[in-house]
Chains A and B, each alone.
Chain A
């Protein structure tokens, strides 16, 4: 019901918004799926019906003010245990105000204020989904200043610090705040320092100080790095450094180094934060050869070194090869990749072939999607080493803005043994006012 009302909202608002010069666009995705999976060691069949909505506005009554939201709701039509099950959440809902370059506030041009449920990423110390606010200012000279604060919504801090059987425990609040001071000259130099203070149940979970630097001495070379210091532990939480080279036009090479203290990713209020001070380091090399405008090859190799208490080191490799071929003029792709990932206990070898084939039929662009994934573990897990999964889908445009995707996937796996699912998805890309129809979603990573 809520989702239905939410869908109707843009329709109801449309005429008044269009008059006010507001651009509104978004996407509604309606899913009907079905799958079987073990629940409490008993097989259960699920038939979820889900609605995901994404809404964006621009010029919400005031130049520079916009509203963005994404939310979803799900009803399981065949939950054997609870007869039916309903759930949902708000992924984002935030007001965004960018001070325009004209008008009375033009001296504040470069200031951006966001409030609501949002992602905050300011410096190496934080990437957090929170209910709160952020203020970010980039002066014309490149000087950058930012503050944020709020209540985290993610599960980073979902550590149980209170005793299980103690009802008298004095619960505090979860919150975090932080900031950043930096300088940016895009394409040349970026340097900054950031700080974050996290509290969980009112107690200090993290207190981190971060530094970052990126420098491009010339267009073919870019050097960047970041580091985070845990002020609580007095140790380095992570260091990452990277050099990106483009020795010739079709070739990109990235050399990197990382250092991590895994225990410092556990909040300082967890009892487990006092057990370990091990670290690991990684050196890696990534390269891309763009053979033609359509075809590219990626190769990556990394070697990890795990420091141990006795002074001896253990190592593990990871390597991957990937080829991507662009089909047609649209989002058609053929992808092939192989990967080996080692850990101290086991290793996974994986091969994947995927195809999103555009088919031009009846003056429309259909897409056939096939995805096959094979995996072999070095050591048995649950009595098996091999896993195979795959799916096939057909995407069909119905009318402009409306697309139907239907298909199924299945596989055999050491943990789930056999799994199968089907899904039908109806996407509706809508927009009103201004140039909304031309707004497209961001490109793929």
Chain B
């Protein structure tokens, strides 16, 4: 019966997959480049504002509103408008529409037209070409994407270089969220970015804020207030370098020991301890050894033997945070039982210890006073 049900399920799944594949196509209908418009040909016969009427008075985000409509084209192309759609519209047969793209700019053509005399100064293929005085839209085949000035055009002309350098992006852009990052080294999302982006973000937090709001940072960094790991909340974002992917639970001990401070940047020891306790790994969980002795499940053989490679003193010095992840029950944690003034464990301070040697701190700190009762041992 079970076998039969399994076979039915398999058949159903296979049929569903075949149906899905046969009905689908792995290519998106696109309107990019669907308009065929040689600017070069048109500028030889008409002035810019013949088609882009009112451009010199335009204020605010152009957002495609200066692109002439069908009626304007019809003034010259009346016949083609009726019967030769494909002369201008590449995807006319499929009914693909030309999309007007808002670049969300705080841009006023009116303000610029007073200072910049020729449209070509900005509307060329690149700033380099602008300096060379290149003519407008040399290739001009894909009219909907070629002539919007590049960032370099605004900067290298010397007009907006300071605005750019002091991160006043909002002077021109409402925000930059729709743009892909460019090759500015300081904000480039290059190799190893997930691991190294903290350094860049801390140095230039405003640069990040131009594209990412804080809820985006919170997806990974709000360890204390987020509901779950980002890889659980956003399974569709397969390309992002989420740290806690896959079976992270089993891997976390290796990661934590490999880079001891990494976990601590987001998680305090209470986070570790609560989970260790829940899963029976806290200090109370012990294995029974021959002879009635016990050993914590977390600790390997030789943990209490000074000559052993696994001696706890050696491991504690190397990664003290790991000890704290279970044992930090305040100043009276179990380490202090032995490692106190006059205790069996001896002086726990590392060689050359100097930090709390200042007698005032040693005498007044509640933490120090746990071992140095009444200032005993303080210099």
The residues of B that contact A89 with a CB separation of less than 8 Å are 225-227
Stretch at the interface among B38-46, B137-145, B261-269: B261-269
Stretch at the interface among B51-59, B76-84, B114-122, B213-221: B213-221
The residues of A that contact B102 with a CB separation of less than 8 Å are 435, 438
Q: Which residue of A lies closest to B216 (CB)?
A: A442
B10 within 8 A of A: no
Q: Is A138 a contact of B316 with CB atoms below 8 Å? A: no
Q: Is A163 a contact of B270 with CB atoms below 8 Å? A: no
B109 within 8 A of A: no
Contact check: which of B26, B197, B280 meets A328 at CB < 8 Å?
A: B26
Q: Give the docked Cα–Cα distance between A157 and B328 (Å).
A: 12
Q: Is A158 a contact of B370 with CB atoms below 8 Å? A: no
The residues of B that contact A185 with a CB separation of less than 8 Å are 165-166
A interface residues, tally (CB under 8 Å): 177
Q: Is A355 a contact of B238 with CB atoms below 8 Å? A: yes
B1 within 8 A of A: no
Q: Give the docked Cα–Cα distance between A48 and B314 (Å).
A: 43
Q: Give the docked Cα–Cα distance between A307 and B254 (Å).
A: 18
Q: Give the docked Cα–Cα distance between A162 and B256 (Å).
A: 26
B350 within 8 A of A: yes
Q: Which residue of A lies closest to B180 (CB)?
A: A443
A293-333 interface with B by 8 A CB criterion:
298-300, 304, 306, 308-309, 314, 316, 318, 324, 327-331, 333
Interface membership of chain A positions 257-279, coded 1 if the CB is closer than 8 angstroms to chain B and 0 otherwise: 00010110110111111111110
Q: Give the docked Cα–Cα distance between A441 and B320 (Å).
A: 40
A36 within 8 A of B: no
The residues of A that contact B174 with a CB separation of less than 8 Å are 58, 435
Q: Give the docked Cα–Cα distance between A190 and B32 (Å).
A: 38
Stretch at the interface among B66-74, B126-134, B229-237, B286-294: B229-237
Q: Which residue of B lies closest to A439 (CB)?
A: B177
Interface membership of chain A positions 164-184, coded 1 if the CB is closer than 8 angstroms to chain B and 0 otherwise: 110001000000000000001
Q: Give the docked Cα–Cα distance between A444 and B320 (Å).
A: 35
The residues of A that contact B254 with a CB separation of less than 8 Å are 341-343, 345-348, 377
Q: Which residue of A lies closest to B242 (CB)?
A: A445
B134-164 interface with A by 8 A CB criterion:
162-164
Interface membership of chain B positions 1-38, coded 1 if the CB is closer than 8 angstroms to chain A and 0 otherwise: 00000000000000000001001111111101000000
Q: Is A360 a contact of B28 with CB atoms below 8 Å? A: yes
Interface membership of chain B positions 171-203, coded 1 if the CB is closer than 8 angstroms to chain A and 0 otherwise: 100110110110111101111111011111111
Q: Give the docked Cα–Cα distance between A124 and B212 (Å).
A: 19
Interface SS of A by simple majority:
strand
Contact check: which of B25, B104, B211, B241 meets A438 at CB < 8 Å?
A: B104
Q: Is A91 a contact of B225 with CB atoms below 8 Å? A: yes
Contact check: which of B104, B185, B271 meets A244 at CB < 8 Å?
A: B185
Q: Is B269 a contact of A344 with CB atoms below 8 Å? A: no
Q: Give the docked Cα–Cα distance between A356 and B260 (Å).
A: 33
Q: Is A139 a contact of B222 with CB atoms below 8 Å? A: no
Q: Is A395 a contact of B202 with CB atoms below 8 Å? A: no
Q: A373-B246, A375-B250 are in contact. Are A445 and B193 (CB under 8 A)?
A: yes
A214 within 8 A of B: yes
A129 within 8 A of B: yes
Q: A91-B225, A226-B199, A286-B192 are in contact. Are A216 and B257 (CB under 8 A)?
A: no
Q: Give the docked Cα–Cα distance between A345 and B278 (Å).
A: 24
Q: Is A216 a contact of B224 with CB atoms below 8 Å? A: no
Q: Which residue of B lies closest to A118 (CB)?
A: B214
Q: How far is the CB of B18 from chain A (nearest CB, A)?
A: 13
Q: Is B207 a contact of A159 with CB atoms below 8 Å? A: no
Q: Is B186 a contact of A416 with CB atoms below 8 Å? A: no
Interface centre among A39, A272, A347, A367 (most CB of B within 10 A): A272
A397 within 8 A of B: no
The residues of B that contact A80 with a CB separation of less than 8 Å are none
Q: Is A359 a contact of B238 with CB atoms below 8 Å? A: no
Q: How far is the CB of B325 from chain A (nearest CB, A)?
A: 10
A10 within 8 A of B: no
Q: Is A445 a contact of B271 with CB atoms below 8 Å? A: no
The residues of B that contact A409 with a CB separation of less than 8 Å are 235
Q: Give the docked Cα–Cα distance between A72 and B180 (Å).
A: 29
A198-218 interface with B by 8 A CB criterion:
203, 212, 214, 216
Q: A185-B165, A214-B186 are in contact. Are A284 and B331 (CB under 8 A)?
A: no
Q: A266-B264, A356-B238 are in contact. Are A224 and B200 (CB under 8 A)?
A: yes
Q: Is B225 a contact of A153 with CB atoms below 8 Å? A: yes
Q: Which residue of A lies closest to B203 (CB)?
A: A212
Q: Which residue of A lies closest to B273 (CB)?
A: A160
Contact check: which of A155, A329, A391 meets B267 at CB < 8 Å?
A: A155
A-B contact pairs, 22 of them (CB 8 A): A98-B170, A129-B218, A129-B224, A141-B166, A155-B271, A159-B328, A163-B330, A184-B166, A226-B203, A238-B261, A246-B183, A274-B349, A306-B318, A330-B28, A333-B239, A341-B254, A343-B256, A373-B246, A388-B247, A411-B246, A435-B61, A444-B240
When A and B form their complex, which 9 residue pairs have the shortest distance between CB atoms, in order from nearest? A222-B185, A373-B246, A158-B268, A286-B192, A262-B260, A343-B257, A354-B238, A155-B268, A288-B191
